[in-house]
Amino acid sequence: MRVVQDISHISYLQCSKCNQSYEVERINTFSTCCHKPLLAKYEFLTEISKHELKERESSMWRYFEMLPVLNKENIISLGEGMTPILPLQRLGDLYGMPNLWLKDESLNPTGSFKARGLSMAVSKAKELGVDTCIIPTAGNAGGALSAYCARAGIKAVVVMPSHTPAVFKQECKFYDAELILVDGLISDCGRKVAEIKKERDCFDVSTLKEPYRIEGKKTMGYEIAEQGNWELPDVILYPTGGGTGLIGIWKAFYEMQELGWIDDKFPKMIAVQAENCQPIVETLNGSQENARNYKGKASLANGLAVPNPFGEDLILEILQESNGTALGISDMEMINGVKDIAKHEGTLIAPEGGALLKAAQKLIDNHFIRPDEKILLLNTGSGYKYLENMI
Ligand SMILES: *Cc1c(COP(=O)(O)O)cnc(C)c1O
């Protein structure tokens, strides 16, 4: 066990399956005991008051005690986090959802919430002395890794499907990353990363195969609570690819409960996927035992084209525990969702976010949620990177 630090209250890393502990002082990936994600555990030995937050900086780093960076000098930040939660009044009136909200992650650096996870992972990589990071990506994570590595003076290697729209490739090149294209989906990129790692010394920051991206993404959970005056919504709809955000938000709720910041009324968590690639929906339906051999197709929402999510067990646990569910949305429906939100609310979001509006309508239609519940759509990215393909 560690002594309390001025900054982080992190204590150890824990295997998400068998609870075996791993030290935070060294470079870790996933658990070697069960081959599952590692989760950071904190020990709040001194009281941390939520009222102190008001005076803090307007970024995700305002929650530094609950984050894993030990020395503030290692923080690599471009101002990520503290994105607005907007009421969708006009759209809510139109569709009979009087309590509809959008947390808009499109305002993050590099245009997606991937900034949160990669700001954290790159900060920790710097703290632990890493000099090259590698990532398999469907698009947004590659851009975010490239940007934060540029700022940290770390080399970035990005492996991306060749069919990804040009803008996602170009941004990586601007940030001076090495870009490698692969025919296939992110899972094929993952195999390429494994090959490259045999030849070159690089640190793999694949989703949940490194313990800290999730610590960045969990700050969305802290913000949802703080911005909602410490009351959580009834339902959160989350566009789920690898599931890091969903798992992170849920983790944040438990941490805040332990801190005494919120009560035990947690929202229903809804995993929204692309019909073209909906492994979680299929496992939840019982049409497959797990997603290990699921074959998905590409989607306009490239962030959702993740056929074999490494964190599947954790995602399913959360859906069950929260009385949530999972559903798939077609690419066409996503585009309509994006257009609806743009037309009535003045914000141009990613198709991953557009899917959420359609999903909420479907869940109301089949009485899974009530129209008067407080419904939060978590839009994960900016529509500007997808514009050409949504017209
Ligand atoms: C990566 C990504 C997702 C999926 O995120 P996970 O937390 O890994 O499920 C959703 N939307 C966008 C825009 C993304 O880039």
Q: What is the pLDDT of residues 99-116, one digit of tens each?
A: 999 999 999 999 999 999
Residue nearest to atom 10 of ligand 1 (CA): 303
Euclidean distance between CA atoms 30 and 204, whole angstroms: 11
Percent of residues, the chain, with pLDDT higher than 70: 98
Average pLDDT for the chain:
96
Cβ–Cβ < 8 Å for 161, 298: yes
Closest to 13 measured CA to CA, from 44, 38, 49: 38
Tokens representing residue 332 in the block = 């066409």
The model carries a pTM of 0.96
- Mean per-residue pLDDT, 231-252: 98
Tell me if 112 CB under 6 Å of ligand 1.
yes
pLDDT, tens digit (0-9, with 9 covering 90-100), for 303-313: 999 999 999 99
Which amino acid makes up residue 154?
Answer: I
CB distance 354 to ligand 1 below 6 Å: no
**Tokens 């947690």 appear where?**
266
CA distance 205 to 159: 12
Length of the chain: 391
Sheet of 10-15: strands edge to edge? 21-22, 10-15, 38-42
Residue 215 Cβ contacting ligand 1 at under 6 Å: no
pLDDT at residue 44 is higher than 90 = no
User: What spacing in Å lies between the alpha carbon of 164 and ligand 1's midpoint?
Assistant: 15
**CA-to-CA separations, 169 to 139, 144, 157, 158, 162, in angstroms, rounded:** 8, 12, 12, 9, 9
Q: What band does 389 get if pLDDT is binned at 50, 70 and 90?
A: confident
Q: Which residue has the tokens 């929202």?
A: 267
Identify the pLDDT of residue 6: 64
CA gap 132, 302 in Å, rounded: 25
Instruction: Please tell me the residue having the least CA distance from ligand 1 atom 13.
Output: 381
For CA atoms 171, 166, 219, 57, give the dihedral sign. Answer: positive
- Distance in Å, CA 144 to ligand 1 centroid: 12
- Does pLDDT of 350 surpass 70? yes
Ligand 1 neighbour 242 (Cβ under 6 A): yes
Contact between residue 368 and residue 323 where contact means Cβ atoms under 8 Å apart: no
pLDDT the model gives residue 1: 40
Q: Cα(95) to centroid of ligand 1, in Å?
A: 26
- Nearest Cα neighbor of 237 from 225, 249, 219, 222 is 249
Q: What is the arithmetic mean of pLDDT over 227-239?
A: 98
**DSSP 8-state code for residue 61:** G
H or E element in which residue 235 lies: strand 235-239
Confidence of residue 388 (pLDDT cuts 50, 70, 90): confident
Question: Is 382's C-beta closer than 6 angstroms to any atom of ligand 1?
Answer: no
What does the pLDDT look like over 142-186, one tens digit per residue? 999 999 999 999 999 999 999 999 999 999 999 999 999 999 999
Compute the average pLDDT of residues 6-16: 92
> Which segments of the chain does DSSP mark as H helices, in order?
89-95, 114-127, 140-152, 166-174, 186-199, 213-217, 219-227, 244-258, 279-285, 312-321, 331-345, 351-365, 387-390
With 80 as the cut, is the pLDDT of residue 5 above it?
no
105 Cα nearest atom in ligand 1: 13
Phi (first) and psi of residue 74, to 5 degrees: -90, -5
Confidence bin at 7 (pLDDT 50/70/90): confident
CA distance 116 to 105: 10
Burial of 41 (C-beta count, 10 Å sphere; 0-12/13-18/19+)? middle
State how far the Cα of 256 lies from the Cα of 48, in Å rounded to an integer: 10
Closest-CA residue, ligand 1 atom 14, reads 303
123 Cβ closer than 6 Å to some ligand 1 atom: no
Ligand 1 geometric centre to CA of 241 (Å):
5
Dihedral (Cα; 326, 330, 335, 341), 10-degree rounding: -30
The alpha carbon of 309 and the centre of ligand 1 are apart by a number of angstroms equal to 12
Q: What is the Å distance from ligand 1's center to 335 Cα?
A: 17
% of the chain beyond a pLDDT of 90: 96
Pairing of the two strands 235-239 and 375-379 = parallel
85-95 pLDDT tens trace: 999 999 999 99
pLDDT at residue number 51? 92
- Report, as an integer, the average pLDDT of 20-35: 96
d(CA 149, CA 177) in angstroms, rounded, equals: 8
220, 355 Cβ separation under 8 angstroms? no
Residue nearest to atom 5 of ligand 1 (CA): 241
pLDDT (average), residues 375-384 = 98
Give yes or no for residue 3 having a pLDDT over 70: no
CB of 311 within 6 A of ligand 1: the answer is no
Is there an atom of ligand 1 within 6 Å of 241 CB?
yes
Q: Averaged over 33-54, what is the pLDDT? A: 93
Q: Check residue 264 and give its pLDDT.
A: 93
Q: Per-residue pLDDT averaged across 23-42, rounded?
A: 96
> What is the gyration radius of the CA atoms in the chain, in angstroms?
19
Written as one letter, the residue type at 319 is L
Report CA(39)–ligand 1 centroid distance (Å): 19
DSSP 293: T
Mean pLDDT of 350-360: 98
